[in-house]
Structure formats: structure tokens, C-alpha cells
Amino acid sequence: MLGYIARRLLFMVPTLIGVTFLVFSLVALSPGGLTASALAATGGGAPPGIDPRVAEAEFMDRFGLDRPFFVQYLSWLGRMSPVKLGTRAQIDSTGDRIYLPRELPEPVMINWPSAVADLDMRARELRRDAAASLGLEPAGEERQQQFRRLRSRYNDARRDYVRAVAEVRVLLAAIAQSAGRPDFVDSSGFIRRSRAAEAPSLLEGLLAPGDQIAGDGEVRDLRRILGVLDETVASQRRTWEAALAAEAQLEVCFRAAPFPQAGLTIIPGMLSVGAPDLGWSRSRSRPVARLIAEALPITIMLNLIAVPIIYMIAIPSGMLAAARRGSWFDRLSGGFFVALWSIPVVWAGTLMIGFLANKQYLGWFPASGLHSRVAADMPLLPMWGPEGLVRGYLLDGIWHIAMPVACLVYAGFAVLSRQTRAAMLDNFNADYVRTAKAKGVPRREVVFRHVFRNSLLPLITMFVTIFPAMLSGSVVVEKIFSIPGMGSLMLDAISLRDAEIMLANSVMVGCVMLLALLLADILYAIADPRVTYG
């Protein structure tokens, strides 16, 4: 058994990688892909007075969306994996993970007096000088504040540099279009990097006085375009140098570890282990792990109340219906449970709010939430006060979740009860049951010790499928009754197209589903001695 469990745990790794790749691909291949998700989550758009192409390039660089699909997936998988490669991340006070800054994008090499090799040498000099000029603050809060200042300065410098690169590419694209060379321009309206160095030469035949350029914006005169291009290229170089210096100082401060480091080091600077990084919610500006930590206990609480109620009612009724097949109880319980199962949850929840919670009718229960507004000031248990009986915090919570739990449980009675009945009827007709009856074994022992035990396998299968549902939450019930659980969190993430929350929840449910299937195999072997694993 231990060897089988070890093999299953090892096989879970490639299975989970396949699941995550499929989910990531579905999000990326949806209309607009990850870019649209980030735009919808942040409300991104072009600021007034800025070319939309420049704003898009800045946005894509900000969230790393300008990288190839597989690079984005591997980066996301590296954050999700408990095995980390490279330098360990750090955790700030908000719970967000801090990593080394990404490499700056390549500049557009136009009218620069140095070759690529000289450019690399200049970059190393700038980084070395900037790092040497930085004086680190004392460890603790002062160094953390210094890191935040350096990060803010680096983000501003990187944004200015990315914007300057995009402006150069837009101007060169305008030149190429005016020269009748649309093959120089990519689908986003930028000059292709492989043709950028050739674009200025296209102006040689267009420099006659009065010639006009049919480009975007107000820039029309060709000579003015050249002047604007020279200014933009010079701005690109200045911002490139500023971004390199800011990056070098930020890296020095990062390596001084101003914040607690995440995980445990295996090989310094190369390999470590730690908790998965679920990412940062762009729509809520909070770590996804904290959002899930707030919503998951609520969903688990509702299910831990609902699931035992379903099993305590459905399994005994199914056993009794099977033991008394064809009786009035069998027919009445079966018809009643099927009738309940046929009622849509949306309709049932709406009727409960309309009649049981409406003050114009019964008004027995609250319509939404988990507690009253004054529940925090209540004692834990009910007690008598000067104004009469005080419900108490615990009873107030039970009062609020009564209707949501009722919506969660009623539909499960029919499925579990009929499944128990069908499984037991199959075993009632088995030879060993007839032999036990012929030997005079009491009926109660036949039902519980023989028939019910051998009917557990399909019930175990249904039981383990509950665990993923306990994590994903009931979207309909939580939305109807305004319960801030996992269902509401996922529904909001879908409507806001917050890819980080959707991906994190999918991975979490996938992991629990694989572990639940392993638990089912173990329970099979416990319930049925005939089941063995070599």
C-alpha cells in the first residue's frame, strides 16, 4: 500500500502540470487572452494625450505580457511550484512576494554611436557605478522603506524607458508606412525590430521640401519627423541609462534582504523550497492567498454543516427504503426526494428570501450575510440581558446560515438516498445474503454487517467528490445570500476577468481532486478486503 501511495503521489506531478497548462492555455486563448484579463481587472486604457500603442506597450511590459506564451507559463508555474529556482523571494508586510526585477527590454538601435558590444560595456559600467553609489540604510524598517523608494523610482524609470522605446518604434513605423513599406510594420503598428535600423534610410527619397507624411498625429512635415525622431532616440538613451541605474540599486537593496525571505534554501542562490505564490489580484490589489484565506473558511464551514446533514438523512432513508422495498416509505421517500431535487436552487433561494426573510410575510430569517451588524458586541452564547434574551454570536450565525444551508442540502438527498438504495438492492440479491438468511443470521446483522458494508464503494466515490466542491464553493447559493465565500470570489473573478484568482483556484481544486481520488483508493481497500494494490 505504501508503495502504491508513493507512486500515485509521483504521478500527480505530471498530471497537475498538465492540468495547469490546460487551464493557463484556456485563459490565454480566451478572447483577448491574458492581456484582456489584465485590462479588465485593472481598468487599463490609454491616458489622454498618449498614443494607444505606446500605452499598450507600457501596460504589456508592466505585467510581463510582452513575453512569449510559454515563457509566461513557465514563469507562472515557477511561482506556483513549491520547488523554486534562482534567488529566493521575499515577503513584504502586505503578503506580496518580491522578486528580482525583470531584465529591461532591448532598445531600438537607431543613430547610436556605439555598437552592441560597446552598449553592453556601457550597461555594465552604469550598473557598477550605480550600485557602488548606493548607501544601504540600517536593517529593519529603515531598509524596507529604502527598498520601497528604490522600487518606486525603478518602476517610474522603467515606465519612461518602455514608453520611449515604444515612441521610437511608432515613429519608425510611420516613416515606413509613408515610404510604402508596410512589410516593415507588425500587426500592432510598431516597426519590426529586425527592420528598425533600415527605416531612417527610407526618408532619403522623401526629403524634398513640402513633402508630407501620411502618418498618425499632428506630425506632417518630413524634416520635423526627423527632428522628433532624433529627440525621441536621445530620450530613449537617457531613460535607458536611468532605468539601468535604478535597476542596479534596487537589486543591491534586494540582495541585502530588507524583508523576510520566503521558503527554505537548499542550494544558496539556486534552489529553495517554499509555499506556492498564488499571485497578486489586479482587480482587488491584494495577494490572492489572502483573498482565498478569507473566503475559504466560510465555504468550508457551510459545507461542513451541510454535508453531515445530507448523509445523516439520505443514507438511513436509503437503507430503510432498500430494506423495505416496495413499501409506502420507499415510494413516499423516493417521490419526496426526487421532488426536492427537481426544484432549482435559484428559485428555492429566491422564494426563501421572498417569504421566509421578507418582513411583509413571515420574516423569520435574515436575507443575507453571516452575522448581524451588532453581532461583534454579543456574547458567544445566548443569555438573558436587561432587555430580554440576547441571541449571542453563535446563535446569530446559525440564524443567518439556516437558509443557505437548506439550499445546499435539499438537492443532495435524492442523489445519495437513491444511490444507497440501488447499491444495497444489488447486494440484497447476492448469494452470500441468501446464505446468511438461510443460516438464520438476524436481519439487522445482514443489513448492516453484510449488505451495507459491501455497498460502500459507490458511496465512497460520491464522498470524495465532495472535497473539491467544498473548496470551489456554491456559486449560486453564496451569490443569492451575499455570502463572501469561494463561490462569490470566483464569480467576481470571472466577471472582472482576474486571471490570477481563476488560475489559483483551479490549481487548488485540481490538487484536492487528485488527493481525493487517492483517498478513495485507500478507503476502497479498507471497506472491501478484496481490493488490493500491488
**Residue length, the chain?**
534
253 and 314 co-located in one domain: no
pLDDT above 80 (res 4): no
Asked if 281 contacts 500 with a C-beta cutoff of 8 angstroms, the reply is yes
119 and 259 co-located in one domain: yes
271 and 294 co-located in one domain: no
- Going by pLDDT thresholds of 50, 70 and 90, the confidence category of residue 3 is confident
pLDDT of the residue at 224: 66
End residue of a domain, out of 214, 247, 275: 275
Say what the pTM is: 0.75
pLDDT of the residue at 234: 84
300 and 431 co-located in one domain: yes
For residues 258-274, average pLDDT: 85
Q: In the predicted model, what is the mean pLDDT of the chain?
A: 79
Tell me if 134 is assigned to some domain: yes
- Going by pLDDT thresholds of 50, 70 and 90, the confidence category of residue 247 is very high
State the Cα angle at 457 between 16 and 446, rounded to 5°: 165
User: What strands, in cross-sheet order, belong to the sheet with 264-267?
Assistant: 83-85, 271-273, 264-267
* Number of compact structural domains in the chain: 2
Tell me if 63 is assigned to some domain: no
Tell me if 434 is assigned to some domain: yes
Tell me if 269 is assigned to some domain: yes
512 and 463 co-located in one domain: yes
297 and 261 co-located in one domain: no
Tell me if 24 is assigned to some domain: no
Asked if 131 contacts 249 with a C-beta cutoff of 8 angstroms, the reply is yes
140 and 240 co-located in one domain: yes
pLDDT above 80 (res 258): yes
Asked if 236 contacts 212 with a C-beta cutoff of 8 angstroms, the reply is no
- Going by pLDDT thresholds of 50, 70 and 90, the confidence category of residue 100 is confident
88 and 132 co-located in one domain: yes
Please name which of 215, 234, 240, 233 lies closest in space to residue 106, comparing C-alpha atoms. Answer: 240
Structural domain of 320: 289-527
End residue of a domain, out of 213, 244, 275: 275
Tell me if 240 is assigned to some domain: yes
- Going by pLDDT thresholds of 50, 70 and 90, the confidence category of residue 109 is low
pLDDT above 80 (res 344): yes
Determine the Cα–Cα distance for residues 466 and 455; give it in Å rounded to an integer.
18
> Comparing 402 with 206, which gets the higher pLDDT?
402
Determine the Cα–Cα distance for residues 246 and 123; give it in Å rounded to an integer.
12
Q: Any bridge partners for residue 191, and if so which?
A: 185
Sign of the four-CA dihedral 147, 148, 150, 151: positive
Please name which of 252, 254, 298, 263 lies closest in space to residue 472, comparing C-alpha atoms. Answer: 298
Asked if 53 contacts 166 with a C-beta cutoff of 8 angstroms, the reply is yes
Determine the Cα–Cα distance for residues 51 and 166; give it in Å rounded to an integer.
9
Determine the Cα–Cα distance for residues 6 and 25; give it in Å rounded to an integer.
29
Give the rounded percent of residues in the chain with a pLDDT score beyond 90: 5
End residue of a domain, out of 245, 275, 305: 275
Determine the Cα–Cα distance for residues 493 and 501; give it in Å rounded to an integer.
6
What is the per-residue pLDDT across 220-232, written as a single tens digit (0 to 9) for each? 455 566 677 778 8
What is the per-residue pLDDT across 18-70, written as a single tens digit (0 to 9) for each? 888 888 888 777 665 565 555 544 455 555 567 777 877 887 787 777 788 88
Q: Which amino acid is at 231?
A: E
Determine the Cα–Cα distance for residues 249 and 283; give it in Å rounded to an integer.
30
